[in-house]
Structures are given as structure tokens and as C-alpha cells.
């Protein structure tokens, strides 16, 4: 199975690694926004996670509602083994390609 990942998908999976078990849309969004400065809409987070779930890279279940969500349930996500492998693979691929290029790329 080909588990190639898009850039945004990589960000999502890394956020899941960072946040641990059963996290959901709002913290994921904040994590990405805080670390990359990239504004992300809940809709985008949700649809991308949904796609990843259909590819078997994440798993989800409906969690409890809370008052601050207006009584709406949240969908909680966790990484599957395959998802972890895929993000690991993607990261190392990138790292290998980028190895020693820091001066040329001019980034800190």
C-alpha cells in the first residue's frame, strides 16, 4: 500500500504524535497554528483527518459533548500503527533529502 502523504497531512499526523491519544479538532488546530503560524479552519482539519481515516492512517470515535461546544459531541482521533509508520517514513525521507542542505536553503 502506498502511504504517501501531502504536506498538510504530515502536519496533522505530527500534531497527533505530539498531542497523544484521543485528541480532537480544536487542540490539533491550535497546535498547527501555534507551531507553523498557518491558519487552519476546523473544516479543513476535519476533512483531511477523515481522508486519512479512510486510508487507515488514523482512527476515530465520537467523544462526549461538552457545554463549551454547545452540547455537540467531538470526534477524537488517534494514530494507527500504519499512520505512525507513514509519518515516520515521510519524515525520514524528507530528512534524508534535506540532510546537509541547511546553509543552501538559508533557513535557520
Partner 1 sequence: MSLGGRGSRSIWARLLPSGVREVVAGDLEEIQRRGRVTRARFLLLIAASVVTCWVDALFPLSRRDVGVDDRRNRGDGLMSTFFQDIGYGLRMMRRAPGFTAAAVLTIALGIGVNTATFGIVNVLSLMPLNYQDPERVAFVFGWSQERQERRFNLPLADAIDIGAQSRAFEAVSAYAYWSANLTGGDQPERLQAYRVTANTFALLGAEASYGRTLTPDDGRPDAAAVVVLSDGLWRRRFGGDASIVGRAITLDGVGHTVVGIMPRRFEFPIFNFKGEAWTPLRTDAKAGSTRAGSPSIVAITRLRPGVSYRAAQTDLDAVMRRLEADHPSTNRGLGGRVLEMRRLGEEAGAPLALILMAAVGMVLLLACANVANLLLARAVGRERELAVRAAIGAGRGRLVRQLLTESLLLAAGGAVLGVGFAFWALDALRAVLPEALLTTMPNVAELGVDRTTLAFAAVMTVACAAIFGAGPAVRMVRTDLQGSLKSGGTSASAGPRHQRLRATLMIAQVAVSLILLVAAGLLIRTFDRLQHVDAGFTPDRVVTMMMSLPEYRYGDASSHQRFFEAALGSVARVPGVASAAFANVLPFSTYNDGTRYIVDDGTLPEPGREPGSDYRVITPDYFQTMGIPIVAGRAFDSRDRSATEPVTIISEVFARRVFGTGDPIGKRVRLGRRDSPIRWLTIVGVAGDVRHSAITEQPQPTLYRPFAQAPAERMMLAARAAGGGEALTDTVRAAIGAVDPMQPVYHVTMLSRLVDTALMPNAAAMSMMSLLGALALMLATIGIYGVVSYAVSQQTREIGVRLALGASPGDVLRLMLRRGLFLVLTGAAIGVAGALGVTRFMAGVLYGVTPADAPTYLVVAAGLILVGAAACYIPARRAMRVDPVTVLRME
Q: Which residues bind partner 1 (CB under 8 A)?
A: 24-26, 29, 39, 41-47, 50-51, 54, 62, 65-66, 68-70, 72-75
User: Which residue, 4 or 102, is less far from partner 1 as judged by CB?
Assistant: 4
Closest to partner 1 by CB, 18 vs 69, is 69
> How many other β-carbons are positioned within 10 Å of the β-carbon of residue 69?
13
Cβ 53 vs Cβ 75: under 8 Å = no
CB of 96 to partner 1, least distance (A): 24
- Interaxial angle between packed helices 81-98 and 7-19, expressed in degrees from 0 to 180 and rounded to the nearest 10: 120
Q: Could you tell me if 55 and 2 are in contact, meaning their C-beta atoms sit under 8 angstroms apart?
A: no
The nearer residue to partner 1, 17 or 25, going by C-beta atoms, is 25
CB of 22 to partner 1, least distance (A): 14
Q: Do 39 and 63 meet the contact criterion of CB atoms below 8 Å apart?
A: no
Amino acid at each position: 500500500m502506498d502511504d504517501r502523504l501531502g504536506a498538510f497531512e504530515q502536519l496533522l499526523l505530527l500534531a497527533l504524535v505530539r498531542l497523544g491519544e484521543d485528541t480532537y479538532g480544536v487542540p490539533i488546530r491550535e497546535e498547527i497554528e501555534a507551531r507553523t503560524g498557518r491558519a487552519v479552519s476546523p473544516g479543513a482539519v476535519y476533512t483531511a483527518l477523515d481522508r486519512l481515516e479512510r486510508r487507515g492512517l488514523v482512527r476515530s470515535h465520537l467523544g462526549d459533548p461538552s457545554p463549551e461546544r454547545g452540547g455537540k459531541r467531538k470526534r477524537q482521533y488517534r494514530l494507527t500503527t500504519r499512520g505512525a509508520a507513514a509519518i515516520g517514513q515521510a519524515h525520514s525521507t524528507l530528512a534524508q533529502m534535506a540532510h546537509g542542505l541547511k546553509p543552501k536553503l538559508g533557513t535557520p
